[in-house]
Amino acid sequence: MDYNLKIGGQILPVEADLKDDGTLLARIGEKSFTTRYQIISEKQIHIDVEGIGMNVYLADNDDGKLINIHGTTYLVQDADTLERSGTRKRSSKELPQEITPPMPSVVECIMVAEGDVVEKGQSVIMVSAMKMEVKLQAPFKGKVLKINVAEGDKVMPGQILMDIEREEEDERKTQEEITQEKEKI
């Protein structure tokens, strides 16, 4: 069986052939080892590597296996399964790019004025429908150019309630953010 073991900050490729008769043939990177092994208990094994015998104590941790040989403890992890347990950060949840209501509603309150500078995510207009109030947010930093509705108006999905001019720097920054996030993942 093949493993990629993470230990001491490095990842070592290991090919292992474990036989029932108590021997293990392993290739770690470029080196080959012949080992005789004995299971002593759940936390202890005895291995004989290339003629030298030693007791090894082991315990499973949340993130790997703790292995103690000659007084030094190593944390060994299975690099392949580490991959699958990492939580994925989804690429930035996109705010709707237009100020438009999600369902037919009534404009309750317009929270900004033409000419205001707004931040990304800032609530700019509140609409209500079906006994619920929904705050619509600015998708990016920018300046409010034109407000197309008035309080009390009935509005439909698809109708643009407000025009916001995106601030130029913001666009560049967003690009950077996106690239950074890609690299992290």
Residues at the interface with another protein (CB under 8 A): 1, 3, 5, 7-8, 10, 12, 14, 16, 18, 24, 26, 28, 31, 33, 35, 37, 39, 42-45, 47, 49, 54, 56-61, 65-74, 76, 78, 80-81, 83-85, 88, 90-91, 185
Of 53, 54, 94, the residue nearest 181 (C-alpha): 94
**54 versus 109: smaller Cβ distance to another protein:** 54
- Return the H-helix or E-strand segment holding 16: strand 10-18
Q: Output 54 or 160, the one with its CB closest to another protein.
A: 54
Cα 140 from Cα 119, distance rounded (Å): 6
CB of 108: closest distance to another protein in angstroms? 27
From the CB of 97, what's the least distance to another protein, in Å?
A: 14
Kindly state the smallest distance separating residue 146's Cβ from another protein, in Å: 29
Rounded Cα distance between 12 and 2, Å, is: 11
The DSSP H or E segment spanning 111 is: none
Find the farthest-apart pair of alpha carbons in the chain and give their distance in angstroms, rounded: 87
